Structure 1
Amino acid sequence: MGKKRKKEGARKGGSRRFLIILGLLVAGAFAAKTFVYSDDTPAAGGYRSNESGILYDYTPEAFEAALKSGKPTILDLSADWCPPCRITAPILEKLRGEYRGEVNIFTANADKERDLVLRYREEWFPAFIFFDRDGNEVRRVRGLIFEEDFRLAIEELLHEDSLAITVETVAPETVLNRLMAGERLTLIDVRTPQEFDSGHIPGAINIPLDRIDEASLRDRGISEDQEVIVYCQGGVRSHRAARILYLMGYRKVRDMGGILDWNRIGGPVVRS
């Protein structure tokens, strides 16, 4: 009996080791497929991290000059240890090439550029800070952002008329406190149905950004005279949605930003 148990234990242990090794191989293959970077030579003063492959091209001199260049600027605060940073880095490299000459894009190592992190009082990475042509910060987005969201934000930077509309923002903490107090809020999640199903704020309704129109709002009983709070994944789509709603006559629209900030403060989520 003792020998039999030992053999069974050995077989189970071998199976566990096999599954662990298989998992590591799959993870390694995924990482190799996901973290693909261009061969662009870093700008003067820049370097590519051997640990993460992220291209850090921020220098204080180049960044300050960019803010005075009359072109929009994006500052990416990332770190080698941050998985979302590794995923967004190649996206930014691609967009940096496509928008070269139109938009300045910098990636800074948050662990090494501590003065920069303190200057912008940031503690969540990756963080993307958007500046207009005059060098003024106009938006800040945190967490994993998709390529189409980056493109949307860049196009808005290039067409400043969309930024002329000032929509009020509301902090996730404020929304959470109001919900905890029993207040009924009209929350619109403008992400895709798949993103919505993966986790959303209790009581929120899903109207994807590309489906916001009079009919979709009317069908859900949302009128122009009521307060509407919009949010998305990282803050780009909610920014756009808030302006669309404002132009449609919803003057009490509020932009909460991304559900990533909601998760950061421990806000509850439900899954469909």
Structure 2
Amino acid sequence: MSLRFAAALFSAALIATPLFAAEKHAFTPQAFAAAQAAGKPILVEIHAPWCPTCKAQQPILEKLESDGKFGALQVFHVDFDSQKDAVRNFHATTQSTLIVFKGKNETGRSTGDTNAASIAALLDKAL
């Protein structure tokens, strides 16, 4: 393999792979509290596997979360059906709720939004 070809392959891999994608976590109160205490930008996604709006949000969120701009974002998934205590603690009344924090401060939320531009604007509020 020539050096030029190897360099081209390496460059293509860098372009195709986000260097700083958001960190995704299953929600636990302890992990969420630790991210807040560290002052991290946080997105909480309250979703349900049967929810059509959640399914529409998913590719938008995946694309945004892979953007280097949101590389420091800590993403916590809360299951609407099985994590009722967390849903109540976040004062969420429905699935497809997105909540952003800067450390311990909630800076925005939306419910049922499937517009990429407004979801990106919401995530900006965590930075």
Superposition TM-score, scaled by structure 1 size:
0.35
Of structures 1 and 2, the one with the larger relative CO (CA 8 A, separation 6+) is 2
Unmatched tracts of structure 2, length 5 or more: 1-22
User: How far does residue 83 in structure 1 lie from its aligned partner after superposition?
Assistant: 0.3
Question: What does 1:1-272 correspond to in 2, within 5 Å?
Answer: 57-98=26-67, 99-100=70-71, 102-132=72-102, 134-158=103-127
Unmatched tracts of structure 1, length 5 or more: 1-41, 47-56, 159-272
Q: Which amino acid in the other structure matches residue 97 of structure 1? A: S
Corresponding residue for residue 25 of structure 1: none
Q: How many residues align?
A: 103
Highest Rg: 1 or 2? 1
Q: Which amino acid in the other structure matches residue 128 of structure 1? A: L
* 1:73–1:135 Cα contact (<8 Å) kept: no
Judged with a 3 Å threshold, the aligned counterparts in structure 2 of structure 1 residues 62 and 151 are, in CA distance, closer, same or farther, namely: same
User: How far does residue 138 in structure 1 lie from its aligned partner after superposition?
Assistant: 2.3
The Cα offsets for residues 88-123 of structure 1, whole Å up to 9 and x where unpaired, read as 1222222222222x2212221111111101112221
User: How far does residue 124 in structure 1 lie from its aligned partner after superposition?
Assistant: 1.7
Judged with a 3 Å threshold, the aligned counterparts in structure 2 of structure 1 residues 106 and 90 are, in CA distance, closer, same or farther, namely: farther
Q: Which amino acid in the other structure matches residue 84 of structure 2? A: R
Higher strand share: 2
- For residues 118 and 130 of structure 1, the distance between their equivalents in structure 2, rounded to whole angstroms, comes to 16
User: How far does residue 157 in structure 1 lie from its aligned partner after superposition?
Assistant: 3.0
* 1:72–1:135 Cα contact (<8 Å) kept: no
User: How far does residue 74 in structure 1 lie from its aligned partner after superposition?
Assistant: 1.1
Q: Which amino acid in the other structure matches residue 131 of structure 1? A: F
* 2:78–2:87 Cα contact (<8 Å) kept: no
User: How far does residue 66 in structure 1 lie from its aligned partner after superposition?
Assistant: 1.4
User: Matched residue of 1:73: which SS?
Assistant: strand
User: Matched residue of 1:65: which SS?
Assistant: helix
- For residues 140 and 113 of structure 1, the distance between their equivalents in structure 2, rounded to whole angstroms, comes to 19
User: Matched residue of 2:113: which SS?
Assistant: coil
Q: Which amino acid in the other structure matches residue 150 of structure 1? A: I
The Cα offsets for residues 138-177 of structure 1, whole Å up to 9 and x where unpaired, read as 222110331211222222332xxxxxxxxxxxxxxxxxxx
Q: Which amino acid in the other structure matches residue 86 of structure 1? A: K
Judged with a 3 Å threshold, the aligned counterparts in structure 2 of structure 1 residues 80 and 148 are, in CA distance, closer, same or farther, namely: same
> What's the C-alpha RMSD, in Å, of the aligned pairs?
2.1
Superposition TM-score, scaled by structure 2 size:
0.69
User: Matched residue of 2:66: which SS?
Assistant: helix
Q: Which amino acid in the other structure matches residue 122 of structure 1? A: A
Identity among equivalent positions (%) equals 30
